[in-house]
């Protein structure tokens, strides 16, 4: 029970990595607020946490909107009385996104969700943590795409690279207040967001197998692989860790070019 007695807010918690984090944190003793834009997915996430014996609530909203970000934090505190951990997981992407081709609307949408969204929710969450005066932890779910370039992935690369440096900035600014800020940088993970990159006629299982062949550990990641990394950074086990990029990618970035 590494998060016993703590309260966590997980953005983008309705599916994929965010859902895995919410479920794991609840099993480790945290009370969890799950945020997202789609009510049915949030309701199912809360139900899954409850079936596992945990406690959760849904706080719907769009992280790219300041008023929604502020409300997410306020509703979490209203429900559970405090906020100890923030996981900035909400994200999106667009395919075929070279600088010369990507639509301006898509560029803005990706940056506003992946980078500005993390900034906004962190802004209000850290203010709450400062007011409480007992420290806290912020875990940003970034990507190996924030460390290296990928073909036709300009807005996503830019957003995650910015998120990695925002992580370091916040880590410096709030360390003296006992607030640790770290990033997890996953490689390819089997999630609905990743599956959304499929082209018509492609088979998802075949794609996963092809990607796995180029990963040193022999498989694509699971949401739970990332969730355990987030748990470490949210818990007291990482009490002397801040400002890092924890790469969780099966070894891709140490020996392989981008999978494509």
Cα 146–Cα 26–Cα 112 angle in degrees, nearest 5: 30
**For this structure, is 232 an active site residue?**
no
Which letter does DSSP use for residue 189 in this model?
B
Annotated catalytic residue, options 156, 174, 228, 232: 156
Which letter does DSSP use for residue 249 in this model?
S
Q: How far is the C-alpha of 180 from the C-alpha of 83, rounded, in Å?
A: 14
Q: Token match 């355990």: residue?
A: 228
Residue 189 makes CB contacts below 8 A (sequence gap 6+) with 16, 17, 220, 221, 222, 223, 225, 226
Q: How far is the C-alpha of 144 from the C-alpha of 254, rounded, in Å?
A: 11
| 3-class state of residue 239 by DSSP | coil
| 3-class state of residue 179 by DSSP | strand
Q: Residue 180's beta-bridge partner residues?
A: 137
| Active site residues per annotation | 156
């Amino acid at each position: 029970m590494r998060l016993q007695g703590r309260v966590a807010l997980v953005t983008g918690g309705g599916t994929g990595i965010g859902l895995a984090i919410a479920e794991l944190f609840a099993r480790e003793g945290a009370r969890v607020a799950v945020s997202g834009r789609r009510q049915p997915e949030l309701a199912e996430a809360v139900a899954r946490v409850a079936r596992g014996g945990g406690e959760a609530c849904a706080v719907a909203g769009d992280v790219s909107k300041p008023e929604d970000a502020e409300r997410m934090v306020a509703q979490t505190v209203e429900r559970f009385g405090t906020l100890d951990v923030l996981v900035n997981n909400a994200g999106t992407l667009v395919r075929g996104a070279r600088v010369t081709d990507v639509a301006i609307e898509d560029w803005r949408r990706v940056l506003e969700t992946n980078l500005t969204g993390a900034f906004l929710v962190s802004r209000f969450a850290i203010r709450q943590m400062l007011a409480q005066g007992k420290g806290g932890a912020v875990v940003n779910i970034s990507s190996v795409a924030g460390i290296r370039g990928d073909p036709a992935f300009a807005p996503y690369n830019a957003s995650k690279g910015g998120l990695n440096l925002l992580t370091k900035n916040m880590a410096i600014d709030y360390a003296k207040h006992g607030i640790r800020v770290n990033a997890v940088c996953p490689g390819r993970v089997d999630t609905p967001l990743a599956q959304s990159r499929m082209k018509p006629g492609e088979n998802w299982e075949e794609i996963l197998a092809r990607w796995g062949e180029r990963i040193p550990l022999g498989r694509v990641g699971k949401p739970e692989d990332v969730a355990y990394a987030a748990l470490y950074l949210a818990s007291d086990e990482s009490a002397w860790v801040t400002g890092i990029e924890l790469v969780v990618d099966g070894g891709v970035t140490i020996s392989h070019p981008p999978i494509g």
